[in-house]
Amino acid sequence: MASGERLDRVRGAFAGLAAGDAAGWPAARHRSALLAGWSRRLRRELDAFAEEHQVTTLPVPFALNQPVAPLALGPSDDAEWLAWTALTIREDRAEAFGRLAGRGDVRARVSVWAALDNLAAGKRPPASGHDNPHHFDDAAAVRAVAFGAAGLDPGEDARVTNAEDGVLGAVATARAVAALTEGAAMAEAVEEALGALPAGTAIGHAAREALAAARAAGPPFAAVPALDAAVLDHVYSYGVAAAQTVPIALALADAAVSATGGTPEAFGAGVSAAACLAPVADSAPALTGALLGCAVGYDALPAAWRERVRTLAGCCLPELAGADLLDIAGRLA
Amino acid sequence: MISVRDRARGCLLGLAAGDALGAPAENLGPEEIAARWGVLTEIEGGGTDDTEYTIFAATVLLHHGHGLTSEDVARAWREEIVARLDGPMRGAGFSELGTVEALRRGLEPPLTGRWHAHGWSDGLAMRAAPYGIFAVGDPDEAARLAEADGRVSHTGEGILGGRAVAAAVAVAMTGAPPGEVAGAALRAVPEDSWTARSLRAALDVAARTPRPLSGRALHDSFGRALHDSFGRALHDSFGRALHDAVVMAHYPWTDLAPEAVALAIAAYVAGGGEVETSVVTAANLGRDADTTAAVAGALAGAGRGEAAVPERWAARIGPVAGRCLPVVAGRDIRDVADELVKGM
């Protein structure tokens, strides 16, 4: 395989993740962290007003007397954490995270915050990821896209912030991305991922249920209700549980490639279907986008999306404001 | 000489009293509790899920005895909880509804406890006391039985929290001092676990803090302690140190088993195993206050017996309403205690 193709796939994984990240409705919420504190406070008050007055007009984030760019379509938390991972990937993972501990300007999932607090209190991995109320979330799975693209094991990184299903989700994601980066077909990449997910775990059970449900339903959009029923328990909207988002990403990536015969149209078909699953729209579209972007390659992604998602906003890691995701991906490849 | 029956009644009455005392303080912080009550010492209303799920667990245990399996427990959940639901669940935590949904999906244990994301909740710890009563003096057996139950609704640290409480109650039921009881809780969980690390950190705080809000005849001295700024300050510094040791800063919910079990056992140890002091100390720490006070009350009541549970609290504990679990409506926790030790 020519190295040019490999670079195209790695860039595709990064830009695909960022496009999925941008496509999910929570992106605007994350990006609104860049708006002035008073306007975010006013938004919370409007939220209470809407509840109190039974109005269905949603008080979405708004810009008033300040730049409107944060509310435009663009990448948010997942793209930034992926970029941070790629930039620090050769460092000891506990040390890289340790530099974030105690910083007051970082935004992150519960698992990452709990890990940063644990590290600051002297707990080392794997306890930092295990003694963690959200050890099961997909923060490490998102970061694992960088490890998969670099052909590296995501385990050490994952165990800083996660445990059990959270680590399994990272290993599965990295395996799938690594296979796709090497030019494997989506079906092979999905099998690679499944091999990392024991059937007796929630994530392993959900992955097999999700794949079966999506295959029975047909094209990705048709599979949305089946995935909602098969994978989401609707008890608590954690939204970023790896046992939900990784299986949905695998199932929709698989369905999109099957439905389109693996043409570039697979990307939009899979990502937009993932964005329709509102409870998991924070990261399921991003993970789906990473798999499909890696499969079809950067050059085959819609040009308007490619341009729109390459510049990071700095809504979670302020030092990444203005950073070029494509450049970061290229350095990794 | 305190009889086994007396200890069993003390255990479950202590649990029910802690549940009822802590209920209005659930999800509050120590500062909010201090602002509202000064010191919360009087039961305001009824008990909650802690008492009702304890009765449910005891009933299933009595039916199967030492042969209890996770499949027995899953069947009981299906027949006695899921089948009776004709609307929303009431008064339960996330792990219970998550388990019900997993059972409705047709899953079997242990996947039922893994499928939902609250496998680490204190929902098993809150109902684990009957296993310790039933296996009095045998902490390994008590922990094994609690785990058989817990595999239906919990996983990982949630199961460990239940094991720790069951083992601790089994030892408390022998009249062992609080230090030994806490040691039994620690021995029931792997050294390399969140529950063990959390327990060790909390016990460390309890060991280096002077007894908070102490008093032998507490309901006489407590009124004085209430207005005693020294006693209050002592409790505040104890509470702050405990929170710093075991409470996660970036997580909004309070029902993590490693946290709740550590707070409960630290309050019990700091309270010297005395029922009122232990329960009041736990309830005034806030967080999952009904569960932590219930666990502290179960341990202290097992150690000191029925007569050590303040009469004014015991008088408030009648047959349960079945508000959370209709199947247990009308059961009296004293009868459950008697049944658990019948023939001993």
**pLDDT (tens digit, 9 = 90+) per residue, B294-342?**
999 999 999 999 999 999 999 999 999 999 999 999 999 999 999 999 9
Closest C-alpha to B266, from B212, B190, B335:
B212
pLDDT tier at B211, thresholds 50, 70, 90: low
Which residues of chain B neighbour A110 with C-beta distances below 8 Å?
250-251
pLDDT of residue B22: 97
Among B143, B146, B162, B138, smallest CA distance to B291 is for B162
Res B214: pLDDT = 46
Bigger pLDDT: B129 vs B235: B129
**Taking CB atoms and an 8 Å limit, are B101 and A117 in contact across chains?**
no
Residue of B102, B115, B248 lying closest to A133 (CB–CB): B248
Q: Are B301 and B13 in contact (CB under 8 A)?
A: yes
Domains of chain B: 4-340 (1.10.4080.10)
Cβ pair A130:B115 closer than 8 A: no
> Cα separations (Å) of A53 from A44, A59, A321?
14, 12, 38
pLDDT digits (tens, 9 = 90+) for B239-278: 999 999 999 999 999 999 999 999 999 999 999 999 999 9
Query: Hey, what amino acid is at B15?
Result: L
- A133: which chain B residues are within 8 Å (Cβ-Cβ)? 120, 248, 251, 253, 256
Within an 8 Å CB–CB cutoff, is residue B158 touching chain A? no
Position B235 pLDDT exceeds 90: no
A contacts of B105 (beta carbons < 8 Å) = 233
Domains of chain A: 3-332 (1.10.4080.10)
Pick the range with the lowest mean pLDDT from A24-28, A263-267, B218-222, B231-235.
B218-222
Cα distance from B92 to chain A (closest Cα, Å)? 12
A236 neighbourhood in chain B, CB within 8 Å: 94, 98, 116-118
CB-nearest partner of A201 from B94, B114, B118: B114
Token duo for residue B132: 């310790």
Average pLDDT of adjacent 10-residue blocks, chain A of 333 residues: 84 98 96 94 92 86 91 97 98 98 94 97 97 98 98 98 98 98 98 98 98 97 98 86 98 98 96 97 98 98 97 98 98 88
Of B101, B197, B251, the CB nearest to A127: B197
Would you call A236 and B198 a contact, using CB atoms and an 8 Å cutoff?
no
Cβ-contact B246, B199 below 8 angstroms: no
Distance CA A143, CA A146 (A): 6
What is residue B143's predicted lDDT score, i.e. its pLDDT? 98
Q: What is the pLDDT, as a whole number, of residue A45?
A: 92
Mean pLDDT of B137-153: 98
Section B92-106 average pLDDT: 93
* Length in residues, chain A: 333
Q: Residues with Cβ < 8 Å from A246, sequence gap 6 or more? A: A138, A141, A169, A172, A173, A193, A203, A207, A287
Chain B contact for A130 (CB, 8 A cutoff): yes
The answer to whether residue B208 scores a pLDDT higher than 90 is: no
Chains A & B: contacts with CB separation below 8 Å: 58
Neighbour-count burial of B1, counting CB atoms closer than 10 A to its CB (0-12 exposed, 13-18 middle, 19+ buried): exposed
Q: Which residue has the higher pLDDT, B110 or B223?
A: B110
Between positions 249 and 288 of A, the ones with CB within 8 A of B are none
**Which pLDDT belongs to residue B234?**
67
Rg of chain B on CA atoms, in Å: 18
Q: Which of B97, B110, B251 lies nearest to residue A235, judging by beta carbons?
A: B97
Overall average pLDDT of the B195-201 stretch: 98
Q: Which two tokens stand for residue B24?
A: 């209005």
Q: Give exposure, B87-109, as e/b (b: 16+ Cβ within 10 Å).
A: eebebbbbbbbbbbbbbeeebeb
Nearest residue to A328 via CA among A138, A30, A140, A79: A79
Task: Determine the Cα–Cα distance for residues B214 and A48; give it in Å rounded to an integer.
Answer: 44
Interval B7-25: pLDDT, tens: 999 999 999 999 999 999 9
Q: How confident is the model at residue B183 (pLDDT cuts 50, 70, 90)?
A: very high
d(CA B128, CA B255): 15
- What pLDDT score was predicted for residue B216? 42
CA B288/CA B257 separation, integer angstroms: 10
Q: How confident is the model at residue B222 (pLDDT cuts 50, 70, 90)?
A: low
Question: Could you give phi then psi for residue A192, rounded to 5 degrees?
Answer: -55, -45
The pLDDT score that the predictor gives to residue B255 is 95
* HSE of B313, CA atoms in CB hemisphere, 13 A: 32
Contact A171, A184 (CB under 8 A): no
Residue B229 has pLDDT above 80, yes or no: no
- Residue B226: predicted pLDDT: 47
The CA distance from A115 to A132, in Å, is 7
Nearest CB to A133 within list B111, B114, B256: B256
In angstroms, the CA B211 to CA B267 distance is: 10
Whole-model pTM?
A: 0.95
| SS3 sequence of chain A | CCHHHHHHHHHHHHHHHHHHHHHCCHHHHHHHHHCCHHHHHHHHHHHHHHHHHCCCCCCCCCCCCCCCHHHCCCCCHHHHHHHHHHHHCCCCHHHHHHCCCCCCCCCCCHHHHHHHHHHHCCCCCCHHHHCCCCCCECHHHHHHHHHHHHCCCCHHHHHHHCCCHHHHHHHHHHHHHHHHHCCCCHHHHHHHHHCCCCCCCHHHHHHHHHHHHHHHHCCHHHHHHHHHHHHCCCCCCCCCEHHHHHHHHHHHHHHHHHHHCCCCHHHHHHHHHHHCCHHHCCCHHHHHHHHHHHHHCHHHCCHHHHHHHCECCCCCCHHHCCCEHHHHHHHHC
Q: Would residue B91 be called left, alpha or beta, if left means φ above 0 and alpha means ψ between -120 and 50 degrees?
A: left
Rounded CA separation A177/A145 (Å): 6
Would an 8 Å CB–CB cutoff place A241 in contact with chain B?
A: yes
B198 contacts A136? CB cut-off 8 A: no
Nearest Cα neighbor of B311 from B211, B215, B218 is B218
Lowest mean pLDDT among A279-288, B23-32, B81-90: B81-90
pLDDT surpassing 90 at residue B215? no
In the block, tokens 């729209």 appear at A281
Give the mean pLDDT of B54-60: 98
